[in-house]
Amino acid sequence: MTEKKFFLARESIRELVPQFGACLATDRITVEGRKVGYMYRDNPTFPQDTGWRFFAGDEDQKYIDDPGNSSVYAVNTIASYDPDIIPYLFTPAPCAFEKITGTTNYKRVPL
């Protein structure tokens, strides 16, 4: 397995939502540097899990099904990649949001 080369250097990760917990995000965000296009929150699956899952929004099912294409991160890390998600992070599960094209806002969508 090759080591991932992240889009942001460790020094670029700012403390934006400290002690928030863990989430899952795809490499389209953390390796390729894409913004979050779709995110949903479900019930947590482990103690530190917030239930948040972040996607660029163009991943197909084959990509998502490959465990090598996503990893567990601190929510703060993903907020450093795309601070536009911050206002939505305290929405209780279950919920889902899709980025409104050309804006920094998201709209709630069915889960």
C-alpha 49/C-alpha 63 separation (Å) is 22
pTM above 0.85, yes or no: yes
- Give mean pLDDT in consecutive 10-residue pieces for the chain, a chain of 111 residues: 88 92 98 98 95 98 97 97 98 98 97 89
C-alpha 23/C-alpha 29 separation (Å) is 13
Q: What is the pLDDT of residue 35?
A: 97
Q: What is the pLDDT of residue 50?
A: 97
Q: What is the pLDDT of residue 3?
A: 86
What are the residue boundaries of the structural domains of the chain, listed by start? 16-108
Strand 70-74's sheet: what is its strand order?
70-74, 22-26, 49-55, 38-41, 95-99, 106-108
Q: What is the pLDDT of residue 43?
A: 95
